[in-house]
Amino acid sequence: MADTQDARVAVYLDFDNIVISWYDRVHGRNAYGKDRQRIADDPNDPEVAERLSRAAIDVGAIIDYASSFGTLVLTRAYADWSSPVNAEYRNQLVARAVDLVQLFPAAAYAKNGADIRLAVDAVEDMFRLPDLTHVVIVAGDSDYVPLAQRCKRLGRYVIGVGVAGSTAKSLAAACDEFEAYDSLPGVEKPRPKADPVEKATSKTPAKSRRKPTTKHDAAAPEESASDESESDPILTAAAAQNEATALLERALRLGHDKSDGDDWLHSSAVKTHMRRMDPSFSEKALGYRSFSEFLKSRDAIAELSETGHERLVRLTEN
């Protein structure tokens, strides 16, 4: 993390993006698109209200995380605040001194209205307020990659916040630091009503492994899509663990190459290097309480030495 002494922070929230992404994270892929009409018709319907409540955004968790980098100079949230879904958050946002920027209902000519308005305001603020040191972008679209890159070129430290699984990898890579909304302190991880593992085991092995071989078999997209969406969270978690292992190994090898023969590296330096290579890396998002715990879980490639307050790590000799 950059030095927070006298740091001045600007926060920009693409609020529609974070609300929809978290709704999909809680209820499944494209859930908001499927429920959009029901929500618009009657947001007070008991079933609709229950689904919205389960996917509620913790505004305080986002603001508190942003404030950990320094003094919040300005905080703006962009959305159509006349929408019942967004209107629920107005009091929370105003209570945290968030400036609500009204975007009128999207039409064909205003598809990327939030992206453009947010980016224009951010660039203008950086020239208008030269003492800004940090920019926090709460969104997940790859459309914000040029904004993150411009902020960095103008000398600002850029932090991204987005929902895991819905954030473009390119956006995370364009930031100096990236944190998944899921892993922010105070945010409860989504708990699906049904156990996907139990559902998967209830199917016959032959059917679950069978590939379409005829036109009739290939013409069953609904079942295939359902099976794929159920297994996605499991596959994504496994892939994230594998990517973190590969990232750690690369960081250790590069660290050893630059250490002039010194086998042991400071664990904090290794973590910093990993975050530079992949700003979206977070041991907490992977289920570990500390970086040391993460290293211990990778004892096949990393050897950890803890002496007093000093924690050293090196690549395990095979």
Model pLDDT for residues 9-33, shown as the tens digit of each residue: 999 999 999 999 999 999 988 899 8
Query: Which residue segments constitute the domains of the chain, with CATH numbers given?
Result: 8-38+51-183 (3.40.50.1010), 237-315 (3.30.420.610)
d(CA 272, CA 313): 13
pLDDT at 218: 38
Per-residue burial over 160-196, b if 16 or more Cβ lie within 10 Å, else e, is bbbbbbbbbeebbebbbbbbbbbbbeebeebeeeeee
Model pLDDT for residues 105-131, shown as the tens digit of each residue: 655 444 566 788 999 999 999 999 999
pLDDT at 207 over 70: no
CA 15: distance to chain centroid? 14
273 neighbors 314 (Cβ within 8 angstroms): no
Q: Global pTM?
A: 0.70
pLDDT at 27: 92
Q: What's at 109, amino acid-wise?
A: Y
pLDDT at 308: 77
Which range, 94-108, 176-190, 199-213, 232-246, has the best average confidence (pLDDT)? 176-190
Model pLDDT for residues 195-205, shown as the tens digit of each residue: 443 344 344 34
